[in-house]
Amino acid sequence: MSGVNQKLERMKELSARLREASRAYYQEDTEIMSNLEYDRLYDELLALEKETGIVMADSPTVTVGYEAQDSLPKERHESPMLSLDKTKSPEDLSAFAGTHEILLSWKLDGLTVVLTYRDGTLVKAVTRGNGEIGEVVTNNARVFQNIPLRISYRGELVIRGEAIITYPEFERINEEISDAEARYKNPRNLCSGSVRQLNNEITAQRHVRFYAFALVRAEGIDFENSRSAQMEWLAAQGFETVEYKKVTASQVPETVAYFAEKIQHYEIPSDGLVAIYEDISYGQSLGRTAKFPRDSIAFKWQDETRETRLVGIEWSPSRTGLINPVALFEPVELEGSTVSRASVHNVSIVKALKLGIGDRITVYKANMIIPQIAENLTGSGTIEIPGFCPACGGPTEIRRNGERETKRNTKDASPEDDAVETLYCTNERCSAKKIKLYTLFVSRDALNIEGLSEATLEKLIGRGFLYTFADIFHLSDHRDEIVEMEGFGEKSCENMTRNIEKARSTTLPRLLYGLGIPNIGVANAKLICRFFDYDLARIRAASVEELSQIEGLGDVIAASVVDYFADAQNQETLERLLTELQIEREPAGGAAQILAGKTFVVTGSVEQFANRNELKAFIEERGGKVTGSITKKTDYLINNDTTSSSAKNRKAKELGIPILSEEDFLALSRSADITEE
């Protein structure tokens, strides 16, 4: 590794450590390094940046301002950005190489962006657009996670690269979107929208990364006619480049096999490879066709297909009412794994493929990852679109959503002019639409059933196993089917059953919170239970006037409780649920309300309690309130490190708020004097 590259690696290491220390300090109120150590590392990073002339966008030494725009200006590229000719044959790649060396690299699946630097500073970023005119996204490029804002080279540098969002980041962002239909279909679409945002703060939150794949111009630098020398030089300037291998024709097959193996677990989206001649002059001498440059070619993965038999269509309802068709077929080996199901996406594609039970179909993995149906060799067309929802039995209807859709799972199909047909459940009370409610019901602060994630619940609801909360306690009736579901097995099914049985014994506040009554959180559920001496019958019969007497509840929340229990179906749901549960008896009146009227903030690690949630529950059960931030209304800060210089400790001292260790707090909570202080 060259000296510059060693310094770049050290700079990345320092930046990561400093960012982690800042996150812990400002977001979690914990210190993972002393101020002296932080300053020492910061100064080292600053010195390395000055020495190399390179400053990365994620460096703690710079602050990139966020800026909103009304629109993205357009700009014409100096020269058209052509598409590449394509092949699926490694033999074609070897023939392309001939007697010359080529660079074989990833063909990343994101958004191509052209960057321009002058005097060592990023001055412009433009998307590929239609190849001739792109959109200016300079503000957004400045917040790409791994891009250098300043480089050591002082001439004009123009490079091309791919902006991408990794699969883990794509999954994280989609998990935060509750509406299944609003989720992004793939990382490429998410990246395109993120790079083209009008507010670059949103771009920054998406953690976009940039990988350089071509150097267009670097005035005054002699690369000795070598593409690989260009890539090495870009790396020395602080850019991350696409992974590449310099190979001869005879080495192409083994190199393609290397990339094919790696893509199975690669976190960066890729839809193939790119080959380009190492000899720059030779490549340029070949010129171009009307559509493609002759110095490079794209390699698309040769899809491994298998013939199998369709054994069924599973209609899977979602929380929005959309019912997705999933093809079930006899298991086949594809790209090193066994597959037996593939999404068919919508009714239009079911019809276009003319699917029928028993049909011979061919299946493949799109980009070697996602199982899809390639074609139907039988085409019986006997699949009937269900008239009733498999989750609730309610009527369904076919809707035309007005969107054009390319049939991703039919290789030779073209987009239809007609709107895409999708199937929906029309029952507003469909259990599948209540997926969030089920997720709340099994959450830690409610029934606390481990192993029932939102994704798992959606599968169980889609199979028609869950119509009401009580059905959770009878999932063992469907054991034979559950163990065969994707992601399940004997062990996971046993664990789920054991956790469900354990959850039968619960408390009234947990149950009340788990019902999902609007506006009723954990704290309010506890307040209501205490006020009515843990008598569920009194709570179900309570009026708005009675509930409004509870301090901190108010008329709106009181009305939510009354409205919930006034609904006959809610009452029936609760009655069925009560037959499955044993409600632990609480002493009348609960714990003495010795902390009533006091507000606490809890920070740092705890020793006397299992975790901070347990300490919070202890305070709330005794009438106290726990908030997340310190204000003038805060009475006490609980922090075992009472001498820490953390942000919350400093704030408490500024406001004259006592800082208590757990021992101090427990001693104080045993004294009735706390209510008098």
Catalytic center residues: 107
Amino acid at 66: Y
Separation between Cα atoms, residue 357 and residue 379, nearest integer Å: 10
Separation between Cα atoms, residue 524 and residue 550, nearest integer Å: 9
SS (H, E, C) 169-222: HHHHHHHCCCCHHHCCCCHHHHHHHHHCCCEHHHHHHCCCEEEEEEEEEECCCC
Contact between 196 and 72 (Cβ < 8 Å): yes
Residues 6+ apart with CB under 8 A from 4: 52, 236
DSSP E strands in 466-597: the ranges are: 505-506, 582-583
Contact between 435 and 458 (Cβ < 8 Å): yes
Residues 6+ apart with CB under 8 A from 73: 135, 136
Q: Which residue blocks in 263-306 are alpha helix, DSSP H?
A: 280-285
User: Is 253 in a helix, a strand, or coil?
Assistant: helix
Amino acid at 423: L
DSSP state of 419: P
Residues 6+ apart with CB under 8 A from 258: 245
Other CB atoms within a 10 A radius of the CB of residue 382 amount to 12
Separation between Cα atoms, residue 588 and residue 68, nearest integer Å: 57
Separation between Cα atoms, residue 417 and residue 171, nearest integer Å: 32
Separation between Cα atoms, residue 108 and residue 263, nearest integer Å: 11
DSSP of 434-466: GHHHHHHHTSTTTT--TT--HHHHHHHHHTT--
Q: Which of 242, 159, 171 is nearest to 206 (CA)?
A: 171
- How is residue 465 written in tokens? 């196993």
Sign (positive/negative) of CA torsion 635, 641, 642, 648? Answer: negative
- Three-point CA angle 113, 119, 125, nearest 5°: 15
Amino acid at 463: R
User: Is 157 in a helix, a strand, or coil?
Assistant: strand
Q: Which of 524, 648, 641, 512 is nearest to 581 (CA)?
A: 512
Residues 6+ apart with CB under 8 A from 111: 127, 128, 162, 163, 164, 188, 191, 192, 195, 196
